[in-house]
Amino acid sequence: MQRVNPIIYIIFLVLSCSNKQTVENSLSERDAAIEIKVQQLLSKMTLQEKASQMVNIGLPSILTGDYWSERDSTVFAPKKFRKFITKYAVGSIHNTPGYLIGSKEWYRIVKEIQDSAIHKTRLGIPLLYGIDNIHGANYVKESVLFPQQIALAATWNRDLSKINGEITAYESRAASLPWNFNPNIDIAINPLWGRIAESFGEDPYLVSEMGAAYIQGSQGESLEDPKTSAICLKHYIGYGAGRNGKDRANALIPENSLRQYYLPPFEQAIKEGAASVMISSNAVNGIPCHINKYYITDILKGEFGFKGVVISDFSDVHFLTEAHEITEDKREATKLAVNAGLDVLMNPYEIDVVDYIVEMVETNEITMERVDDAVTRVLRLKFQLNLFEKPYNNPEDFPELGGERHIQQNYNTASEAITLLKNNENSLPLKKGKKILVTGYAANSMNVLNGAWSRTFLGQDTKYNDPTKLTILNAIENEVGKENVDYVEGTDYTEDINTVKAVSKAKNADYIVVCIGEIPATEKPSDINELQVPEVQQELIKKLAVYNKPIILVMVQGRPRIIRDIEPLSDAIVMAYVPGQEGGRAISDVLFGHINPSGKLPYTYPLYSGNALTYYHKKADIRDITWAYDGFYSQYEFGHGLSYTTFKYSKVTLDKEILNGNETLKVSVTIKNTGKREGKEVAQLYVKDLWASVAPDSKRLIRFEKISLKPNESKTITFEINSADLKFIGIDNTWVVEEGAFEIQVGGNPKELIKKQFEYKI
């Protein structure tokens, strides 16, 4: 047996008792050794050195020019560089120089910063470099640009989420970027919210599962592996629930909803080993998340036993003063945030908070224990990432960056995401040898396919587009030959360009492919006041419809924009979300049948803006003017998505009628491919509590599995569930399971779920 160092063993015991997570997983010898190194280093640090570890600055702060100046080269400003990097020895850094750079340039930048931190500061602590590599390593020039996360969610394929995480980590690490501000595990309950595109949608279970898989891919077996990246969960918490549907808006979340819907993805992600958490810029019930000690210290670090780093969002200490009006004094705001449990303050432009922290420890407004806790977490992550030994990576060691395997996985993700919402009389796949009119705002734009965080923050700049990638138009032309395609732009996002011309061309077309879309944007610039598809884009379809030619509507959008009026005019509707760089190819391959679509909606597609409910609403929410309970007017339900083949669900059996205590209930279902071609199907399992002391949800997703079936092939899936799947947050705001009748609902089409009842006895 290997001998265990007695000090390591003592630390192991202490940590095992203090952390729920480690009780289950047991602390490895490496982790225990890291704890020793952290404590040794911490004991040598001055208060100011500690406070510096609690600050994250933006890269432009150490470059020539103002923070937001336009740049085309990265030149360090010697005075600023010395101040932040060597004098203060700031703990971490984020952001890009403001233009797109490749792995070699990243290497040069990170190396210069790390070499100075290691060789020119008293303790030689490397910095932690964080970045928003949101859909692939979007800030590394050679990287692949994956579909946005909402599309990844629509695949309902955990393996793809894991692969997206793994490739993003690899391509980030190729640029010496070891810490990624992703994934987003916000529960997006409001379709108006622009960042729904960056989320896994509305359902806590789907979000938890896809989020956990992404973390496994990104963080791998150990962060010591230089091909992995530490993730940063965001945004804790309630960011996707702004009451007015806007970015960073106040959310009203009662304790029971917080625990039932918003916290579970974070809890699961933390069990998965998530390295860090970013606090949300919004307020919940009027309390900015950044000062909410109950959420951060009591729940996240206490109940969930989170041992990683808690970082603020961009400039959010400042926004406690300016946006939230909690105090006009930044020093006071710093105190509130640090005392709430923030370990790192993302304070992009300045180092002022270091001085505040030092001063407030001296005046006992912040305790040294709190500072030590924060710094311990930061140092722990740096050791876990092995940054002391390997502070940057040689790009040459990453030959797969932007390579064939990654491109193929990108294409696979886009293909599996695309969701066929409507297909009247098998209008799709399109037949060859026909004349096609391609039109619409999204038809010939790479930027609309890629969305925000694509080489630039908003993703609107065309100069970084890869000319080898295909727009929807390019891909259709490749498929059927340019001579068979007429292209007319039709509209811009909100302006008519030449709809008259588009209509005149429609006369001679056999098919009309109209590609509508959203302007690439995120955060505040993505706020909208109207969920309807912009009028001019709807008008185009209305005008084209006069010829009675088959209209194929392709939607390139993160949000489910209202299509009530144009839906009946469309023979087939393809939801492409924001499918990334291979999206044009994937859309065309779906249209022409090379890909059999298998995506399912990760959110409810509302029919009316005023009836935008999540599928897990209460019965009283859907009471109609007639007092009947049929007021849930979705255009398409959560989990909806068609295929070019058909699937039949049968033989739904429960292995018992009464589930007792902690027993397992086995739910089996047989799925048969009853159509003519191979296809993938997502079998969904929901549970409905028939009567409960807190009004039960209409239903709740508790399991899903994606399978592939050849024509005539059948498979039987057995889902195992237990009392944990029946629990809900009760009247006293804790999880409870109540005895009584429950209903299992199984299927792949939310309108045709097969229902079976059973009883639960405690």
- Residues classed as catalytic: 313
Q: How far is the CB of 486 from ligand BGC (least distance, A)?
A: 41
Q: How far is the CB of 346 from ligand BGC (least distance, A)?
A: 7
Q: How far is the CB of 3 from ligand BGC (least distance, A)?
A: 44
The token duo for 326 is 């909690």
Q: How far is the CB of 299 from ligand BGC (least distance, A)?
A: 21
Nearer to ligand BGC, 237 or 366 (CB): 237
Nearer to ligand BGC, 234 or 318 (CB): 234
Q: How far is the CB of 376 from ligand BGC (least distance, A)?
A: 23
Kindly list the distances between the CA atom of residue 682 and the CA atoms of 144, 156, 707, in Å, as whole numbers in the listed order: 27, 7, 6
Q: Locate tokens 């791998």: which residue?
A: 220
- Segment (H or E) for 439: strand 436-439
Determine what percent of the chain falls in helix, strand and coil, rounding each to the nearest 5. Answer: 40, 20, 40
Nearer to ligand BGC, 234 or 585 (CB): 234
Query: Peptide bond preceding 288: is omega within 30 degrees of 0, i.e. cis?
Result: no
Q: How far is the CB of 188 from ligand BGC (least distance, A)?
A: 14
Using DSSP's 3-state secondary structure scheme, residue 537 falls into: helix
Q: How far is the CB of 210 from ligand BGC (least distance, A)?
A: 18
Burial class (CB in 10 A: 0-12, 13-18, 19+), 126: buried
Nearer to ligand BGC, 74 or 386 (CB): 74
Using DSSP's 3-state secondary structure scheme, residue 625 falls into: coil
Q: How far is the CB of 337 from ligand BGC (least distance, A)?
A: 15
Residues in the site for ligand BGC, rule: CB under 6 A? 94, 132, 181, 234, 278, 281, 313-314, 523
Burial class (CB in 10 A: 0-12, 13-18, 19+), 99: middle
Closest CA to 110 of 134, 88, 85: 85
Cβ count within 10 A of residue 213: 22
Cα distance between residue 359 and residue 466, in whole Å:
50
Q: How far is the CB of 525 from ligand BGC (least distance, A)?
A: 11
- Structure letter (DSSP) for residue 483: G
- Segment (H or E) for 760: strand 754-761
Cα distance between residue 531 and residue 540, in whole Å:
18
Using DSSP's 3-state secondary structure scheme, residue 374 falls into: helix
The token duo for 160 is 């793809």
**Pairs from 484-488 (Cβ < 8 Å, separation ≥ 24):** 484/433, 484/434, 484/435, 484/436, 485/435, 485/436, 485/437, 485/438, 486/435, 486/436, 486/437, 486/438, 487/437, 487/438, 487/439, 487/443, 487/444, 488/437, 488/439
Q: How far is the CB of 323 from ligand BGC (least distance, A)?
A: 12
Nearer to ligand BGC, 162 or 248 (CB): 248
Nearer to ligand BGC, 142 or 313 (CB): 313
Interacting residues of 720 by C-beta distance below 8 A, sequence separation 6+: 664, 665, 666, 667
Using DSSP's 3-state secondary structure scheme, residue 207 falls into: helix
Contact between 465 and 581 (Cβ < 8 Å): no
Closest CA to 168 of 157, 179, 155: 179
Cα distance between residue 462 and residue 100, in whole Å:
12
- Structure letter (DSSP) for residue 239: G
Q: How far is the CB of 574 from ligand BGC (least distance, A)?
A: 29
Nearer to ligand BGC, 314 or 603 (CB): 314
Nearer to ligand BGC, 130 or 606 (CB): 130
Classify each residue of 633-647 as buried b or exposed e, where b means 16 or more C-beta atoms within 10 Å of its C-beta: ebbbbbbbbbbbbbb
Contact between 84 and 121 (Cβ < 8 Å): no
Nearer to ligand BGC, 232 or 253 (CB): 232
Q: 3-state secondary structure string, 341-356? A: CCCEEECCCCCHHHHH
Nearer to ligand BGC, 340 or 346 (CB): 346
Nearer to ligand BGC, 181 or 636 (CB): 181
Cα distance between residue 732 and residue 356, in whole Å:
40
Q: How, if at all, do strands 345-346 and 436-439 pair?
A: unpaired
Closest CA to 698 of 606, 609, 626, 604: 604
Nearer to ligand BGC, 162 or 234 (CB): 234
Contact between 194 and 449 (Cβ < 8 Å): no
Contact between 630 and 599 (Cβ < 8 Å): no
Closest CA to 527 of 251, 245, 288: 245
Nearer to ligand BGC, 116 or 282 (CB): 282
